[in-house]
């Protein structure tokens, strides 16, 4: 009998919403192993760069922490320039033998840019300021696109409603949502 593969961890819906001068990143709290929920209130969002940058991750937790540390170092090296730091991180992630094995995606944002960073060397800035990653990311992204133009809904309200939609569709997403917000200056 062939060796069994380790059980994959499914654990995330991360949504970045930029509306007006505000930007938020929301993440659900569920961590699953196979068909078992092992944690319901994990926090998958961090503030970086002295609190001026929001970052959320989808993928293996230890890998994400490694990437957060590397991004923090790139931000220090490049004077807080988010896009430049992300491009440098993506270069390292793609070419470094150790980093290439990391399995995660990141959504990062500051007051001027929202970016998705991947291990394939991609640093993508969406046209509409919305990013959805993780197992429920596409559901949350679709819901956010439907809600973004509704008057009276700010970035946080759009994110919370979109995350609720994802939680009702994706079995790897729950309603324990964390939200971090950058207000206009």
Q: Which residues are catalytic?
A: 12
- CA dist., res. 144 & res. 181, Å (int): 16
Tokens 């949504």: give the residue.
15
Closest CA to 42 of 10, 11, 8: 11
**Chain centroid to CA 117: how far?**
9
- CA dist., res. 44 & res. 146, Å (int): 24
C-alpha angle with apex 74: 128 to 21, nearest 5 degrees? 30
Sequence-separated (6 or more) residues with CB below 8 Å from residue 128: 145, 148
């Amino acid at each position: 009998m062939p060796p069994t593969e380790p059980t994959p961890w499914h654990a995330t819906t991360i949504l970045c919403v930029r509306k007006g001068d505000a930007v938020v990143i929301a993440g659900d709290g569920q961590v699953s192993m196979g068909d078992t929920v092992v944690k319901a209130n994990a926090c998958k969002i961090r503030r970086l760069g002295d609190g001026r940058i929001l970052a959320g991750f989808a993928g293996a937790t230890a890998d994400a922490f490694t990437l957060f540390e590397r991004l923090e170092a790139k931000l220090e090296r490049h004077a807080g320039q988010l896009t430049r730091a992300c491009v440098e991180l993506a270069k390292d992630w793609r070419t470094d033998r150790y980093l290439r094995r990391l399995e995660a995606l990141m959504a990062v944002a500051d007051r001027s840019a929202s970016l998705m960073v991947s291990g394939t060397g991609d640093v993508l800035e969406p046209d509409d300021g919305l990013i959805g990653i993780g197992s429920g990311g596409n559901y949350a992204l679709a819901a956010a696109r439907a809600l973004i133009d509704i008057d009276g809904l700010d970035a946080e309200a759009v994110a919370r409603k979109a995350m609720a939609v994802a939680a009702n569709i994706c079995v790897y997403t729950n309603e324990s949502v964390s939200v971090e917000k950058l207000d206009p200056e």
